Each structure stands twice: as C-alpha cells, then as structure tokens.
Amino acid sequence: GGLTPYSDTMAPTIASLSYYDGTYHDLTGATLSGMVGLTVNAFDTPQLVSNWPWAVTTPALIEWKLSDATGRKITAGSWDLGSALSTLDPLTVFAPGTLKNSSKGAGVYNYWLGPRWDTTRVANGAYQLVVTASDVRDNETTSTVSFTVANAPAVPVPSRAA
C-alpha cells in the first residue's frame, strides 16, 4: 500500500470555440463583423480520486493562433494556468459564465482568447482559429474552427459643394 507515481494519460477537453457578444455563439462557420470576443470552453479531468468525482480543473496551458486564409498569423497568445502563483488578472483570462466546482456539480471554464478583436482591422474573408489545451503531463488536445469576416463597406460621406 505505498504511494505510486502520479500518472495522467488523459488530454484536456475543448468543449467549444465561440464568439461572445453578450451571449455565446458557436464559431464554426460563423460570419463575424465589428468587435467580438473569441472564447474557448476547456477543462481537464483529474486522474486522482476525489470526493467530487464530477469535478474538473483548468488546463495548465491554453494556446491559440488566428490566421487568415493564406495562413498569415493575425494574432496569437497563451494563458499559462499551470504556474503555482499566477499573476494573471482573472477578468482578463476567464470569460463570463465561468463557475468553480461545487458540491452541486462540475465547474465551467470559459477563457478569453486575448482582448476583444476588431474585425474591421482585417480584410473580409476566411479565417481559422487553432486552440490547444494541455495539462502538466503534456497531454494535449487541439481544436480548429473556420469562420468568415464580413464587414459592411464604409459608406462614403458626401462632400459639400463650395
């Protein structure tokens, strides 16, 4: 009955990739315009036995890359959530609807993928978001979603005749 080395062979789960405008919307095949918040719902299932067998944890690392149709990087970033003393601002990392585990059920972990994104600063067209969630044992899951940016053309302001 001695202790054995910790073993974790299960990768974290990426439950959804969304955009947020006050409500979550599936990003798959979506058409975006204006300012949007890109989010991921991800969690890791602990391998240790717990009094709350439904409990989930945050992945140790979340990385993302947003590219255009040619593969050119638009933005990329990561959240290192595996540090013992994280200095990250929780309001910058966790998106609305995030709930901790409780005796009533599993937590919900929604993460911002960087600051809100102004789609008017990129060309209309196809884009791809790749998100990877990994745990402290380097098990990882990657999810990819494609969507379209379609901003209305700017309306010219008529000039006044002198």
Separation of alpha carbons 76 and 88, rounded Å: 17
Non-local CB neighbours of 103 within 8 Å, separated by 6+ positions: 52
Instruction: Please state the rounded mean pLDDT for residues 34-62.
Output: 88
Enclosing H/E stretch for 117:
strand 117-118
3-state helix, strand, coil in the chain (%, to 5): 5, 45, 50
Non-local CB neighbours of 98 within 8 Å, separated by 6+ positions: 107, 108, 109, 110, 111
Confidence band, pLDDT 50/70/90 cuts, at residue 7: confident
Q: Which region, left, alpha or beta, applies to residue 74 given φ > 0 means left and ψ of -120 to 50 means alpha?
A: alpha
**Coil, helix or strand at residue 9:** coil
Q: Is the pLDDT of residue 63 over 90?
A: yes
* Average of per-residue pLDDT values in the chain: 90
Length of the chain, please? 162
Summarize pLDDT for 78-117 with one digit per residue, the tens: 999 987 667 888 899 999 999 999 988 899 999 999 889 9
Q: For residues 7 and 152, which has the higher predicted lDDT (pLDDT)?
A: 152
pLDDT score, position 126: 98
